Amino acid sequence: LEKRKKSNYISSCGKNWMPVGDDRNKQWQGYNSSVDAFCYHTTHTLDNDDTIVGPKQKYGVTVQNGFALTGGTPASIDFEIHNNMKDGTHTVNEDDCKTYLENIAVVNGKCYGKKNKDTKGGTWQVGEKIVSYHALP
C-alpha cells in the first residue's frame, strides 16, 4: 500500500492568543482583519506586479497598530509565506492567501479557543509541504 502524505493542513499553532473578530468597543482589530490587511497589501503592490516568492525563499511582513492579544495587550502579527520548492515560484493570490490563513482560526480547529473565540495563529501547509503560510500574533 502506498502511504498517503498530508496535504492542506495546520502543521503548528503559535503561542499567543488573539481574538478572531474585531472588538468594536475597544477599537481593536482581530486576527481576521490582520489577515485581510496582509493579503490585500501583499497582492496590491505599488508597481502592480504580482508578489512572487522564489524557490527556497520566503516573504515576510509584520502587521501592527490597532491589534491586541486576548486580554487587551497591544500586539503585532508576523506573517510569512515560505516557498519550499527546489525550483518553481509561488505567486500570491489574495483569495487563496485569506483562505489559508483563515483556516488556521476556523471554529473548533486545532488553533482555535472556544471560550474566548480566539486563535493562536500558526502554520498552514499548502500541498505536501510545497508552500506554507504563517501568521503568529
pLDDT digits (tens, 9 = 90+) for 46-100: 888 899 999 999 999 999 888 999 988 999 999 999 999 999 999 999 999 999 9
User: At a CB cut-off of 8 Å and minimum separation 6, what does 127 contact?
Assistant: 7, 8
> Is the confidence at residue 125, as pLDDT, over 70?
yes
| CB contact at 8 A, 63 and 31 | no
Is the distance from CB of 105 to CB of 111 less than 8 angstroms? yes
Contact present, 137 and 77 (Cβ < 8 Å): yes
What's the length of the chain?
A: 137
Report pLDDT for 79.
98
Q: How many percent of the chain have pLDDT more than 90?
A: 80
Q: What is the mean pLDDT of the chain?
A: 93
Which pLDDT value is given to residue 80? 98
Residue 60 corresponds to which cell in the numbers above?
515576510
Please count the other Cβ atoms lying within 10 Å of the Cβ belonging to residue 22. Answer: 16
Sign of the torsion formed by the C-alpha atoms of 97, 17, 20 and 74: negative
Which band of pLDDT confidence, cut at 50, 70 and 90, is reported for residue 28? confident
Residue with cell string 510569512? 80
Rounded Cα distance between 9 and 6, Å, is: 7
Q: Quick check: 88 and 67 in contact, CB under 8 A?
A: no
**More confidently predicted of 21 and 4:** 21
